[in-house]
Amino acid sequence: MLTIDKQITKKEEGSIVTPAGFQATGIHSGVKRKRNDLGIITCDVPANAAAVYTTNVIQAAPLRVTKESIAKDGKIQAVIVNSGNANACTGKQGEKDAYQMRSVTAKQFLLPEHYVAVASTGIIGQVMPMDKIIPSIKRLKPDATDYSVYQFNESVLTTDVSTKSTCYQTTIDGKKVTMAGSAKGSGMIEPNMATMLAFVTTDAVIESDMLQLALNEVTDKTFNCITVDGDTSTNDMVLVMASEKTGHESLTPEHREWDVFVELLRKTCEDLAKMIARDGEGATTLIEVEVNGARNDSEANQVAKSVVGSSLVKTAVYGADANWGRIIAAVGYSKVAVDVNTIDIAVGSVKLLEDSQPLPFVEEEVSRILENETVKIRIDLKLGKGIGKAWGCDLTYDYVRINASYRS
């Protein structure tokens, strides 16, 4: 029997419109000076939906509207997204504008209002320019072409350097199942599933409550394991839509291939999470921290995220400085109980610490590893069987430049 991992294949040319039933597009509405800033994903049937949201207690109006839409009966048929303006901290007017975006989209595509989700990203505290948004919603013409997908992917970006997209396929009950995702995010990624927009589409057959169960599990292993700068956004979410077009038995934890579906979702979300971490504002390096030997997986993830979130670790990677002391310091303040005498640390293939004792190493060799586009740091706590990973990026001069002039 094939392992779960080998049952899932990556579809390099796939996108959010590859799962049956979905279309998308994006256009320039004028909220931003040049780049596309308004996009939409639609489904030809009401799709079962699930979502997770930023942990910031200050949440933007579009999130509240989307929560209300999904709560109605767990279905979404369109998601309207804009960038350039977050519609956050905009009071009653912001709430009115988010509802208007929902109602105009519903009318344009002949949908019940509660079948529309709304998402916004951009500058906080500025009233949405509805005179640009509303006429532009009426110009949206989604389809399933590669060009329209690119237009959508660009429409959700803010300070991102590149678009983010992935697609996987598997079989469930002998039926081909496809899942794909698009995302934005490059700064303010902390502490849990914050500061990004991620949209996942699938043609799997699964009820909304079961989809939410799977998403909650997967989020803890993917989006909750990335950090860029320690800040938390007011806006962002992961939204999953299932068109149920494939005809297999409805998925629940009792289904014999439930684990295959969860892994399909995990792979999709992990790809997007790593792309967001790699695209950190001004970043040049993706940092992956793998922790083994923790007392449980949760503590392993906590240690990994402490290390990858350390500004001193980030700057050491940027400077290709083999300063492993910053790594063990971040382990120590992770608030996880560790044995200070049993810790191993390696950077790439070079072991720097064994049982908390420093090992001789060639500084130039480690520096060359730290100059790679991806740097892997491995930590073994030797306390149990818990494993975890976290992803982040280096901290560069460009991060300061980008954020110092974000509104200008």
Residues involved in catalysis? 195
What type of residue sits at position 21?
A: G
Bridge partners of 232?
Answer: 189
Closest CA to 164 of 143, 190, 184: 184
Q: What angle do CA 75, 120, 46 make, to 5 degrees?
A: 15
Report the run of H or E that residue 39 belongs to, with start and end.
strand 38-53
> Hey, what are 306's tokens?
């402490």
For residue 93, what are its two tokens?
């007017």
Cα gap 350→289, rounded to integer Å: 14
Cβ-based burial of 129 (10 A; exposed 0-12, middle 13-18, buried ≥19): middle
Is the CA virtual torsion 13, 11, 35, 97 positive or negative?
A: positive
Sequence letter at residue 12: E
Residue 127 tokens read as 């009233």
- How far is the CA of 51 from the CAs of 64, 76, 150, 338, in angstroms? 12, 11, 23, 34
Specify the pairing of strand 38-53 against strand 75-85: antiparallel
What's the distance, CA 348 to chain centroid? 25
> Residue 279's CB: how many other CB atoms inside 10 A?
25
Burial code (b: 16+ CB inside 10 Å, e: under 16) for 58-84 equals ebbbbbbbbebbbeeebbbbbbbbbbb
Q: Taking a C-beta distance cutoff of 8 angstroms, is the pair 38, 133 a contact?
A: yes
Beta-bridged to residue 170, according to DSSP, are: 177
- What the block records as the tokens of 132 is 């640009």
Distances in Å between the Cα of 282 and the Cα atoms of 182, 279, 287, 382, 402 are: 21, 8, 14, 35, 7
What is the rounded CA–CA span in Å between residue 313 and residue 311? 5
